[in-house]
Amino acid sequence: MQKMSEPDADDVPYEMAEPGDAELLLSASEARLVHDARNGDQESFGLLVQRYERRVVKVIRRFVPDVEMAQDLMQESFLRAYERLEQFDPSRRFGPWLFRLAVNLTYDHLRKQRRRGRWSLFSEAGEGDSPDPPSADPRTDRDLAQEVQAVLEQIPETYRTVLVLRDLEGFCTSEVAAVTDRSEATIRWRLAEARRMFKEAWERRERNIEEESLSQGP
């Protein structure tokens, strides 16, 4: 069964554990960039794009494996962020707000695809660093990556988002809470439920594969 990350005992942000002077300066620098961008400085916003674009597109590709579409959604996410800078609360962190826009935009795209009858969430292998399958499994890594995505598709959107951000992308609970605009207690509960759903769906899929194999005989 696919193993997700361990519980939240070491629940620290993916960027840092305890910020030192350098990290505090970096945070202060970002706050300045956001301030200047809100005042119309396009160069400052461009620096924010450079800081986050790789991370944003990586998260989007967890939901939309197509590279070109993920790039388009990433660019649209930054465009939306720029247009809504006046709505951003400068007392909060810019990163979680940006990721919330990107995730919401991605789900809007998927819902439109589903309404058109062409929803293909996780139909292709995602990033190469998807959770590693058991090494003893005889199927190829690509096949297993596709199966992981297919199992994730069975998990309701609310729980899938938490699972992807927390276990696959390494966001800490407080960051997932900020991205989804929910309390940390809610995120911990949803994460536990999502892990349970994933485990049950994965084991059910494995049983189906085994039954099909036995029915086909030697």
Rounded Cα gap, residues 110 and 126, in angstroms: 16
pLDDT tens track for 71-123: 999 999 999 999 999 999 988 889 999 999 999 999 999 888 777 654 343 44
- What is the residue extent of each domain of the chain? 19-119, 140-218
Q: Which helix (H) or strand (E) holds 63?
A: none
Name the one residue in this structure whose structure tokens are 């949803």: 190
30/165 Cα distance (integer angstroms):
22
Contacts of 142 (CB under 8 A, 6+ apart): 125
Residues 5-38 have pLDDT tens digits of 444 544 544 443 344 555 545 555 888 999 999 9
Class of domain 140-218: mainly alpha
Segment 156-177, tens digit of pLDDT: 988 999 999 998 888 999 999 9
- What class, spelled out in words, does domain 19-119 have in CATH? mainly alpha
